[in-house]
Structure 1
Amino acid sequence: MQDRYGPIVSFAVILTTLAISLGILWMAPPNSMVPVHFSQGWARDHFVSPWKKLNIWIGLQLGLWTLMYGLPSLRRSGEGFQASVSVYDAAWITVTSMLGLLTIASMEQALGIRIAMGSLTDIMIGGFLIIVGNGLGKLRPNTLVGIRTPWTKASVRVWDQTHRASGPIFILAGVVLMAVGFGMFGTNRTHHTYLTVVFLLAVFSWGLSWLLWRKEQRPG
């Protein structure tokens, strides 16, 4: 298997998040509160103490680390995953970093610093899609990561064509979503923007793999 960097770097991100958050807690006024839930339009509707919020976010990061570290062994990922491990680790580090940024952004509200959580989420998920799109074409057939539809699992050729064609689309979607987050298309939107983009990408990838499989089944 390739040299792994995902476990070490992602754990370092968790420690960095914890250190910065503890610094924020040290500066926060007594009895300060931070939001823990957002309703339509990213309106803050439930608050907890910064200590409780920190425990929740660090717990999520540690839970993700444990899952990502153990999942390849649990799924018996095989040689295909071994050839794709760099993409897996890149996605792992990116998601951990996203949780870290959300942790810090929410903790900063204890200092009176209000972050536009909707914009931040769009920017982060857009960046994630760009990173994933850049790695899709490098993924080899495996049982763990990738665009796993009945048709990509049935044909190596369909797997390769689907991933190579979807990569640029994921990158383009990521760029658009980041532009939305930076307000290039205006600010009148809901917090479902990124969900819509992810859903459309899933439909595109699913449909493309089916079309490629049907084409492969035609005689001649």
Structure 2
Amino acid sequence: MQHRYGPRLSFALIAATAAIGLVILWLAPAGAVVPVHFSGRWVPDRFATAWHGLLIWIGMLTALWLVFYGIQYCFRSDVGLQASLPVYDLAWITLTAGLCALAVGSMEYAVGIKIALASLNSVMSGVFFLAVGNCLGKIRPNRFLGIRTPWTKANVRVWERTHRTCGPIFILAGIGLIAAGFGMLGLPVGLKLINCFMLGMLLFCYGLSWFYWRQERTRG
């Protein structure tokens, strides 16, 4: 049985976030509030009591952990997914880490510390794309994880070529998001920026898989 680090490390991140949140609550003045909803540019537009905010964030993180934990068992008979579990764990951990960072950043509002959550979100999203892109070529054909288009699912070679080629694209997107988060691109950071990066990658990967499939048919 292969060594798994995803479930334990992601759970440890959630536990650490809960502990930091409790410390912040202990330091926060009476009646302190924290943001629990944001606009497209990550400007807080809805607030709750600090205790309520902590419960919302920890509840969301716990739900995410249960989803990831459950998926691996729903597809436990999928040989390809089981062979790709190290990449699955890496995506699990980096996504959890990003949300934990946002949770702590939101909770710090209770003690008067206002972090630029839009920039933080952009940087953590960039880290996620960097981590996934670095390992994308290691994902084996499976029924859940990876770039699943009609053409990658139809041909193993198309799957492998698409994932190897798209890995560097994910890395470049990650670098771009991190640079935008630090204000190096002069772009307004927010959901629109991240959605543009994701849409661009989606279209590229979708089209590339079709192109590789056409090449394979021509060779055949």
Q: Please give the TM-score of this superposition, normalised by the length of structure 2.
A: 0.96
1:143-187 CA-partner distances (Å, limit 9, x unpaired): 121001111010000000000000001001100110000000225
User: What 5-or-longer segments of structure 2 have no aligned partner?
Assistant: none
Match of 1:131 in 2: 131
Equivalent positions of 1:60-139 (< 5 A) are: 60-139=60-139
Q: Return the offset for 1:203.
A: 0.9
Match of 1:53 in 2: 53
User: What 5-or-longer segments of structure 1 have no aligned partner?
Assistant: none
Q: Return the offset for 1:188.
A: 4.0
> What is the alpha-carbon distance in structure 1 between the residues aligned to residue 42 and residue 127 of structure 2?
20
**Partner SS for 1:218:** helix
Q: Which amino acid aligns with 2:127?
A: G
CA contact (8 A) 1:2 1:82 kept: no
TM-aligned CA distance change 1:66 to 1:42, over 3 Å: closer
> What is the alpha-carbon distance in structure 1 between the residues aligned to residue 189 and residue 140 of structure 2?
37
TM-aligned CA distance change 1:202 to 1:60, over 3 Å: same
Percent identity over paired residues:
53
Match of 1:44 in 2: 44
CA contact (8 A) 1:84 1:140 kept: yes
Give the superposed CA RMSD. Answer: 1.4
Match of 2:194 in 1: 194
Match of 1:166 in 2: 166
Moved more, 195-204 or 179-188: 179-188
> What is the alpha-carbon distance in structure 2 between the residues aligned to residue 77 and residue 133 of structure 1?
25
CA contact (8 A) 1:130 1:170 kept: yes
CA contact (8 A) 1:177 1:194 kept: yes
Match of 2:17 in 1: 17
Q: Return the offset for 1:11.
A: 0.7
Q: Which amino acid aligns with 1:24?
A: I
CA contact (8 A) 2:28 2:110 kept: yes
The number of residues matched between the two structures is 220
**Partner SS for 1:48:** strand
> What is the alpha-carbon distance in structure 2 between the residues aligned to residue 99 and residue 56 of structure 1?
12
> What is the alpha-carbon distance in structure 1 between the residues aligned to residue 77 and residue 169 of structure 2?
26
Equivalent positions of 1:132-147 (< 5 A) are: 132-147=132-147
Q: Return the offset for 1:77.
A: 4.8
Moved more, 72-81 or 42-51: 72-81
CA contact (8 A) 1:2 1:83 kept: no
Q: Which amino acid aligns with 1:62?
A: T
Q: Return the offset for 1:82.
A: 1.7
Q: Please give the TM-score of this superposition, normalised by the length of structure 1.
A: 0.96
Moved more, 163-172 or 65-74: 65-74
TM-aligned CA distance change 1:68 to 1:77, over 3 Å: farther
CA contact (8 A) 1:77 1:143 kept: no
1:70-118 CA-partner distances (Å, limit 9, x unpaired): 1122134521112111000011011111111111000001111111111
